[in-house]
Amino acid sequence: MFLALVLPVSGQEDPCPLPDNKKARKLYQEAIDKVRSNRNEARGLLREALEIEPDFGRANYMMGDILLRSDRVNEAAPYLKLAVQQCPELNQAIYLKLGGIAFGDKQYQEAQTFLEKFISSNEGKETERSEAREMITACKFFIAGFANPVPFNPQSVKKVSTAADEYLPIITPDNEGLYFTRRTYQTSRTAYGEEKKQIEKFSLSEIQADQFFAEGAPLPYPFNQSGNEGGASLTADNKHIFFTICKQEGTNFNCDIYFSSFIKGEWQEIKSLGPLVNGPNSWDSQPTVSADGKTLYFASNRAGGLGELDIWKTSRQADGNWGAPENLGPTINTAGSEKSPFFHSDGQTLYFSSDGLMGFGAYDIFMSKLEEKGNWKAPKNLGYPINSEKDDLGFFVSTDGKTGYFASDKLKGAGGWDIYSFELYKEARPERVLFFKGEIKDENNNAVTEARVEIKNVKTDEVTTIDVDSLTGKYVAVMAFNEDHILTVKQEGKAFTSQYLSTSDSSLSKPKQIDLEVKEIKVGTPYKINNINFETNSFELTQQTVYIIKELAGFLKENPTVKIAIHGHTDNIGDPKANLLLSENRAKKVFDILIQSGIAASRLSAKGFGASKPVADNSQEAGRALNRRTEFVITGK
């Protein structure tokens, strides 16, 4: 092996001729003779030869090669670099060796130069050339990543982060609660002296009036009964929590996924997700549930995966049980390990950690988005320095997509493991999310429990139905928010109630409370139509208003015996006659749109009242705004 590397090929021009000095040549030849039997002696002979002829390319190459084979990489590099300077065509394999050394030293630009030189030589085995190409790809990744760091300024989450260890954090979709695990140590005296015992508590911190989280406290029963539980995920309504419990069972320490439901003000008995999800011989952990509670992603080492740990998903069946898990496939999972999944409330974006994809450390954080056809896009590395040379795990993103959270013991926090947050740069954010919750009440302020909430995409007409709590009349809705939507409350015998949700409304960028009132259908009762807007001093409708009127038409189609009168009203600013005419024209415009939407004219009438029927004080703008309204009155049912 050594001779093949250092002796010239007979009959070919020598790419690296021997020096004229006979003693140096003799020492070099003796080193060749000794290298198989005694590497140390061969190195000594080469050292003598190089003292005589420092530019002896073959001797430098052989010295470097011997040191490499002895795992003395740092000592080998200077000799090999001298060899390529002195004899650049001696043996192209030297460039692969130097590229590997530079790569290991994180000298990626230098490594790329050496490796590309090796590739351009068209020499070496295909396995070596493949190895070189892979390292070149990695070099380009590191060079670009370190040269273009992404914004990252983590700050510890005050009060929650203490001198104890806090980790495995997750914020509820409404941003009002932070679940995490806190580890403390308790010292007790025994017959053998002091004993330090580790105590882990699954904990909750709630948002305070100052918009900061409190320090938090352990969750009450039925939690914290097993000694090792945490890593929670909650549905959008905060009524179903999924988390991991790890137990020592005989000689095995295994983790499974459990859940609890919040009913009548209390968390119920903790239950396993069942044998299809929690395998008897598999590690099943780190659950993340979709906002609607219908799909759950988790990490598992179960049979049938692509690597040591894979990300799987399971779907809730009609009977409430969880179905057989499905592997997310080779786009997400690799021959390595994927874990710490977090599925955002947008219903599309998955964040996870992997050591099998190109990254800056052992585990890097990646994101992928679910396409309409159910396929995952190629994962994107979140970049340096969010991803470091260490393991980066347990990452999640706020509902509004603007803030990333993680736990670390590498930063200067309050002590040990702490929870940190930072502003997430735009390219790494999920889709914009519409998140709101509220209560449905009747005209007597009583909870309406039998209504249903429908949210319609005004561009696609896709309708999402939201359940209303059968005891409280409360509801929660969360979905991707790339188009305007109309929120409508429907219940038999109740009048039309709606709310327009515009993507241009900045107040909807964060979780919002939207309470709605539904009134019984009564002849002669006026009902305000929300979000009916006209241009100033005009009866031309905005597109938003047209959508609302079409929803009113839908209400009339669902209640085919109902007849209505459209009433237009203005404030008292301007000429009374002009206001009366304007209100009449506006009412007539709504009338026309309803007819165009398929409602018979015999069921409709329209009238304007100008400023004659105010519902608020016209001396203030707030009151005038309430007086500028469009109503419908039930004239028959």
Task: Note the pLDDT tens digit of each residue in 116-152.
Answer: 999 998 888 999 999 999 999 999 999 999 999 999 9
Say which residue, 93 or 365, is predicted with more confidence: 365
CA distance 284 to 245: 10
Domain 2-147 fold: 1.25.40
What is the model's pLDDT at position 10?
44
Cis peptide, bond prior to residue 222, ω within 30 of zero: yes
Give residue for tokens 């979000």. Answer: 531
**Predicted confidence (pLDDT) per residue in 535-580, tens digit:** 667 788 888 889 999 999 999 999 999 999 999 999 999 999 999 9
**Predicted confidence (pLDDT) per residue in 163-196, tens digit:** 999 999 999 999 999 999 999 877 777 777 777 7
Residue 2: pLDDT above 60?
no
Give residue for tokens 């905060």. Answer: 238
Contact 434, 480 (CB under 8 A): yes
Coil vs helix vs strand at 501? strand
Same fold, 2-147 and 432-520: no
**Predicted confidence (pLDDT) per residue in 412-457, tens digit:** 888 889 999 999 999 999 999 999 999 999 999 999 988 999 999 9
- Band the pLDDT of 11: cuts 50, 70, 90: very low
Stated pTM of the model: 0.85
Give me the numbers of helices (H) and strands (E) for the chain, helices first please: 11, 33
Q: Which residues contact 144 (CB under 8 A, 6 or more apart)?
A: none
| Cα angle 357-360-361, degrees, rounded to a multiple of 5 | 85
Domain 163-185+197-428 fold: Neuraminidase (2.120.10)
Domain 432-520 fold: Immunoglobulin-like (2.60.40)
What is the model's pLDDT at position 33?
92
Contact 312, 325 (CB under 8 A): yes
**Predicted confidence (pLDDT) per residue in 445-458, tens digit:** 999 988 999 999 99
| Per-domain residue ranges of the chain | 2-147, 163-185+197-428, 432-520, 523-637
Q: Closest Cα to residue 164, out of 147, 143, 185, 180?
A: 185
The CATH code that applies to domain 523-637 is 3.30.1330.60
- Band the pLDDT of 13: cuts 50, 70, 90: low
Residue 1: pLDDT above 60?
no
| Upper half-sphere CA count for residue 574 (Cβ side, 13 Å) | 16
By CB atoms closer than 10 A (0-12, 13-18, 19+), residue 361 is middle
What is the model's pLDDT at position 4?
40
What is the model's pLDDT at position 6?
46
Share of the chain above pLDDT 90, in %: 74
Contact 243, 233 (CB under 8 A): yes
Q: Closest Cα to residue 367, out of 314, 417, 400, 404?
A: 404
**Predicted confidence (pLDDT) per residue in 49-66, tens digit:** 999 999 999 999 999 999
Extract the runs of DSSP E, i.e. beta strands, from 32-137: none
| Cα angle 573-577-579, degrees, rounded to a multiple of 5 | 45
